[in-house]
Structure 1
């Protein structure tokens, strides 16, 4: 038996310990594998100025909105060619779209409270001014803000038939993307009409918001106006 084939027990144990130590070190250096859902689901901020980069994503988002708000909720809203839209879908708005392999899963529209389009500004303010008959004028406790650092979120939706284990992930991704899109435009706060159980919902997402108006039934949904502080919450 040659020299190179002979190892003492101590040497063998030392080799095992070194190998084990290296394996543990390598295991610590390799980040844990992300669930496949994380790598499949993406977010995109679409506007009139960049929609040409994303193929049919903008129109698919409007079709998803129709499926939710008109087909499912039976809201009376403008639509054509299977797409839902209104007076707030202007070049001043941004649409946050969560999608998977091109299929729209969720979305929300952002509009600055300084926006103007003819006689319209933004939804909460126009409702308060009596321009939107389907939303009560007392939707807010105080006068609607018109400030460059405050944006409004509307048309927030999640498509149906998503299982529970995906819904929370998609909702969280949507709200985080909304916060990021708003802060990129200089916003510190986002206001909007949300489900009346929004505080419990926001807590589940690890975020917070405060009520801005009374609880109302709008279009069959129990809702409430709220404000979310988005600065520092987009990570």
Structure 2
């Protein structure tokens, strides 16, 4: 299952909010070599605000081992401010129906079959959240392998926008990914997961919308 954690709900999830900052430091600063702010073993930026939604996969010890950060483009978001080289040629989106999807990471220390499971669940959870909140597409900023591997395995079309090698040790790309009940159904069929994976602490609204998909 994937936990949906926000500033407002963080108290329901123990150390999860702080642990995702630690996980990000391990994945993006140590492993990927990104030049991003960090302090005391935690990676963060100015977009870790009350508007951010964190989709977290945690192990049996409640440690974050996979994650995604979602931000509405109606609020300040990372691509428009920090990484303009990854912006769409037609201009940056600012609409309630378009959200930024970043900080996609899965712990490489996990066994390969479990890494595939975590990747699939993070993709499904992103779609479930999107369907429940009227999102029509994500502006995805991620390592290129997520686009060529994870999204392709889930049967999701995407439009590659830009690519850069300047952020760290591996190429990072931007892409538009469509969100709809149909895309969620296709992804579930492709990865063989037919139940809801997003555990929303606030429950009802997200559950009703996804069940109808």
Partner residue of 1:122 out of 72, 77, 82: 77
**1:40-55 counterparts in 2 under 5 A?**
42-55=1-14
TM-score by length of 1: 0.71
Shift of 1:225: 1.0
**1:52-71 counterparts in 2 under 5 A?**
52-71=11-30
Structure 1 distance, partners of 2:68, 2:86, is 23
Shift of 1:200: 4.4
Shift of 1:201: 3.4
Partners of 1:150 and 1:187 within 8 A in 2:
yes
Shift of 1:196: 3.0
Aligned residues: 181
In the alignment, is residue 205 of structure 1 matched against residue 154 of structure 2? yes
Shift of 1:136: 4.9
In the alignment, which residue of structure 2 is the partner of 1:103? 63
Shift of 1:165: 1.4
Moved segments of 4+, more than 4 Å: none
In the alignment, is residue 184 of structure 1 matched against residue 132 of structure 2? yes
Structure 2 distance, partners of 1:158, 1:49, is 24
Structure 2 gap segments, 5+ residues each:
186-213
Higher relative contact order by CA 8 Å / sep ≥ 6: 1 or 2? 2
TM-score by length of 2: 0.78
Structure 1 distance, partners of 2:131, 2:11, is 23
**1:159-174 counterparts in 2 under 5 A?**
159-174=107-122
Structure 2 distance, partners of 1:112, 1:138, is 17
Q: CA RMSD in A?
A: 1.8
Shift of 1:79: 2.2
Partner residue of 2:49 out of 74, 90, 93: 90
Partners of 1:152 and 1:191 within 8 A in 2:
yes
Structure 1 gap segments, 5+ residues each:
1-41, 116-120, 127-131
Distance 1:228 1:208, change over 3 A: same
In the alignment, which residue of structure 2 is the partner of 1:31? none
